[in-house]
Amino acid sequence: MPTTNNKSIEDLSAEKSGSTNSVNLEPYYSNPNGSTEKKPALVKSFVDSFRRLEPSVDVQAMLTPDLTEAERSAIILENTPLQKSLKGRHLQMIAIGGSVGTGLFVGSGSALATGGAASLPIAYFVVGLLIFCVVHALAELQCNYPINGAFSAHGSRFVDPSWGFAIGWNYVFLWLVVLPLEIIAASMTIQFWNDEINPVAWVSIFYVVIVSINMFGVRGYGEAEYIFALIKVIAIVGFLILGVVLVCGGGPEGGFIGGKYYHEPGPFTNGFKGVCTVWVTAVYSVGGSELIGLAASEAKNPRKTLPSAIKQVFWRIVLFYLGSLTLVSLLVSATDDRLLGSSSVDAKASPFVIAIKNGGIKGLPSVMNCVILVSVMSVGNSAVYGCSRTIASLAAQGLAPSIFNYIDRMGRPIFGILLNMITGLLCFVVASDKQNDVFGWLMAICGLAIAFTWISILICHIRFRLAMKAQGRSLNELSFKSHSGFWGSVAALVVLILFLVAQFWIALFPLGKSPDPTAFFQSYLGAVVVLVLYVGRKIWVRKIWEFLPLNEIPLDAGKAHPDTDLLQQEIAEEKAIMAAKPFWYRTYKFWC
């Protein structure tokens, strides 16, 4: 091992990695005579990993006085020192299986009971088209402006800072509440096998596991989600095959089923209002699909990996939602009493488990419960990731305390993760008989967060396209264009507004119940929270009008590919290479 008398350990790390910002994971230490020796120093490496990772450029020198607030935020976000360590396979699995949880595997059971057999495929088809437009709009924005914070940062740029503040904090509140909820859900899922052990013990285990995964940085999150999503994909594909067999009468018990449950009790159990109820459930079940936009800012090459990952959303909609839930509607009667379980995470109330049991297959219900457990863990893992990255983006824009913009040498927004760890301790209210009341009101605060996040993405995309037109810019400047286009975003925005109307109707007049003020506010308080955040921030900064005209929206600040000619040349070369490939390969790449 060479020696040095003048170079510090940090200098050796910089020479080895090529950057003074990289943490030296090879453990060196200096002995008293000035030489360096290779010794196991894992503790020192662990401690050093929490030191701040400074940007590779002097950001303050770039913030000249003539810049607008939107341009300043774009420069700061563009140079946030997050690690670019997510690979294409991570993004693809996050897109196809990420955030799929109890909403699909268990919540669809209550939706089937309230809406009827035909309501499931209809409602999820509408939501599938909706999310297709949303993720394509988000992909267009993130491929061209791959900045930390995604939709909250785009809200500040393309609408106004107060809108970005409201959307960002509402999204943070959502994941702060979801983490303890999912930990409790995981502990309750275990009770499928053993309900004698105190759930507090399981809560403690799952809390430590989820927090530990995120302490490994974005790579830890990516690898965990890759494994979780892969398990869910295999399970769903297996259920699709099994479901077809059971519908055709191939199970050990029961004969040909076909469409019998569409005749008795009928396709719709509560008419149009029942379909609207299922629609609301479907939106929350698909919620979390926008996380692919957050993850894109930490991908190595968003222009190439994000479009490919976005294509997986199509398969997620077709296989996970339309395919599996159509089979569920054929295999389980909407009047089955088991659908109305004791809680939203009761595995015994899962229509997937009920369908397998009805077929007389032993052992597989436990396998499906394992999948539900994995799904719950996956959503809890995503909660920490989504919250910490969003609050880091808000802090970079000056919309949250600056301490949350502290990025350590492993690329972790460590204080955002710490905030999640603190609020995650709410999971221990599982020991209280008031847990449902506590989480009912906590979820009410951010109950419409998903809907408003999607609305914000669509508004930003629409404003972006209109700004391009107003400033005489060509769409050829874009590295990726949304397949649903401008009008797809407009149509999806109209659908989401109708969703808010349907949610208001159902909250005011619950299905089969008399109007209840408590139930209404728990369903619609989220809209009030967003409005208060938006107006409150404007009053605080004393800037009522921050809405940027289309011709003043900064389209070049933070742009991923400022050299349009070079970008078009690269795209032309890629198309030429693809044209030379076999037909089967081109077909595969078109769809995957």
Per-residue pLDDT of 198-224, as tens digits, reads 888 888 998 898 888 888 877 788 888
Whether 27 has a pLDDT exceeding 60, the answer reads no
Identify the residue whose tokens are 């769903």. Answer: 236
CA 590 centroid distance within chain: 24
Rounded to a whole number of angstroms, the CA Rg of the chain reads: 25
Q: Is the pLDDT of residue 311 over 80?
A: no
* Range from 39-48, 432-441, 581-590 carrying the lowest mean pLDDT: 39-48
- pLDDT surpasses 70 at 32: no
Q: Which of 414, 359, 325 is nearest to 115 (CA)?
A: 325
**Cβ(478)–Cβ(144) under 8 Å?**
yes
Domain ranges of the chain: 86-561, 564-591
Given the structure tokens 């995470």, which residue do they identify? 345
Q: What CA–CA distances, in Å, run from 370 to 189, 251, 303, 375?
A: 8, 22, 36, 9
User: How far apart, in whole angstroms, are the C-alpha atoms of residue 31 and residue 42?
Assistant: 17
CB 174 within 8 A of CB 288: no
Q: How many CA atoms lie within 13 A of 453 on its CB side?
A: 33
- The pLDDT value recorded for residue 531 is 92
Q: Say how far apart CA 530 and CA 533 lie, in whole Å.
A: 5
B/e letters for 47-65, b = 16+ CB within 10 Å, e = fewer, are ebbeeebeeeeebeeeeee
How crowded is residue 473: how many other Cβ atoms within 10 Å of its Cβ?
15
For the cut 70, the answer to whether the pLDDT of residue 4 exceeds it is no
Tens-digit pLDDT profile for residues 369-390: 888 888 888 888 888 888 888 8
Distances from the Cα of 141 to the Cαs of 24, 27, 224, 274, 475, in angstroms? 34, 41, 26, 36, 12
Q: Poorest-confidence range of 82-91, 130-139, 281-290, 537-546?
A: 82-91
Task: Name the band, by pLDDT with cuts 50, 70 and 90, for residue 37.
Answer: very low
- The mean pLDDT of the chain is 80
CA 17 to centroid of chain Cα atoms: 32
Q: Tokens at residue 316, please? A: 């997620």
Q: What is the pLDDT of residue 57?
A: 66
Nearest-angstrom CA–CA distance, 335 and 266: 10
Q: Which stretch of 22-36, 60-74, 302-316, 512-526 has the lowest confidence by average pLDDT? A: 22-36
The pLDDT value recorded for residue 533 is: 92
Q: 86-561 is classed in which CATH architecture?
A: Up-down Bundle (1.20)
What SS3 string covers 533-592?
A: HHHHHHHHHCCCCCCCCHHHCCCCCCCCCCCHHHHHHHHHHHHHHHHCCCHHHHHHHHHC
Examine the pLDDT at 180 and tell me if it is beyond 50: yes
pTM of the model: 0.84
Judged by DSSP in three states, 30 sits in: strand
pLDDT at 136 over 70: yes
Using an 8 Å Cβ cutoff, are 247 and 258 in contact?
yes
CB 70 within 8 A of CB 557: yes
Over the stretch 251-272, which tens digit does the pLDDT of each residue have?
Answer: 787 677 888 888 888 888 888 8
Q: Looking at residue 494, what is its pLDDT?
A: 95
Exposed e or buried b per residue across 89-109, where buried means at least 16 C-beta atoms within 10 angstroms of its C-beta: ebbbbbbbbbbbbbbbbbbbb
Q: How many residues does the chain have?
A: 592
Q: Is the CB of residue 476 less than 8 Å from the CB of residue 152?
A: no
Sign of CA dihedral 108, 112, 115, 117: positive
Q: What is the rounded distance in angstroms from the CA atom of residue 103 to the CA atom of residue 115?
A: 15
Residue 8 has pLDDT above 50, yes or no: no
Residue range 72-93: average pLDDT?
A: 71
pLDDT confidence of residue 185 = 79
